Amino acid sequence: MSTVSFDDRDGWIWFDGQFVPWREAKVHVLTHGLHYASSVFEGERMYGGEIFELTAHTERLFKSAEILDFQIPYTVAEIDQACKDACAKNGLADAYVRPVAWRGSETVAVSAQNAKIHVAIAVWDWPSYFKPEEKAKGVRLTWAKYKRPSPETEPVHAKAAGLYMICTVSKHAAEKDGYTDALMLDYRGYVAEATGANVFFVKDGVLHTPLPDCFLDGITRQTVVKLARSQGVEVIERHIMPEELAGFTECFLTGTAAEVTPVSQVGEYTFTPGKLSLGLMDDYAKLVRRQLVAA
C-alpha cells in the first residue's frame, strides 16, 4: 500500500456532484461531522472494472443516513453512477471505493436540523487489507477491551463513523502487542466481530457465525453465507460464547477490505486454516472477479 498521505495525492474526488482535484477536496474544521460524528460511509471494491455489490452498498449508505436522521440529496442510482465515474476519472479498474456523507458546518451544536448534507466519493488503489503472507498462515487476533454496544444505546445497524472509534482504539492496542487485529465481544459477553470484519468459525464441517443483532451484517458476510450454503455447507448463525472457541478448528474474517482472511489465533485459542477457510477464501476471490458463477 502506498505510504503517501491521503490528503496529498494526485487524482480526483467526486464532491457534492462534481469532480474536484484530490488536494482541494476539503471541509471546514467546524463541520458537524467532525465534532458530533454525524457521518456515514461505505467501503467497496472494484474488481476488473466492476464494483462488487455496488447497489447493496449504496442502499446501506442511504439506510445509515436515515438512521442518523438525515437524507442524502441524491438517488441511489446517482450515487451508483458517481462511484463508477470516480473510478473511471482516476483511471482505475481495481480499486477501493469510499463514499461518505456528513452534516456540514452551518451549525456547531448537537441540534443540526438545517445543516447541509455533503457527499464525497474517493477511490484509490488498495491491495489486500492483510499482507499475503499473513493471509496464507492466518492472522493473529487478541481480545478487544471495548465491547459492541446494545441497540438501545447506539444506532448499531448504521455504518456510522462514530461507532468505529472503539475499533480504532482496539486495533491500536492489538498492534502494540504484536497482533494483527482484535476480536470484540458484545455488551452481553457474546463474540461479536473484529474491528472491521465479521468472523466465522468451523466445527465438524459446519460454519458458525455470530448473530448480527448488535453489529453490521456485512455484505461480504452475507455473500460468504450464500456461497457456503450453495456448496452444501451448513451455516449456523447464533450467539457464541468466547469459551466455545476451544471447540472450533478453523476461524476466518470477512469484509470488503479483509475479503476472506483465515485466522490462526484469537487470544489463548489457536486454529489451523483448513479446507473450509481456504476454500471459501479462493471461491470468494473468484466470485468477485467473475470467475465463479454466483448461486
Active site residues: 159
CA distance linking residue 79 with residue 60, whole number of Å: 12
CA distance linking residue 124 with residue 107, whole number of Å: 32
CA distance linking residue 22 with residue 8, whole number of Å: 8
CA distance linking residue 174 with residue 140, whole number of Å: 9
Angle at 9 between CA 121 and CA 93, to 5 degrees: 55
| Nearest residue to 33 (alpha-carbon basis) of 122, 106, 99 | 106
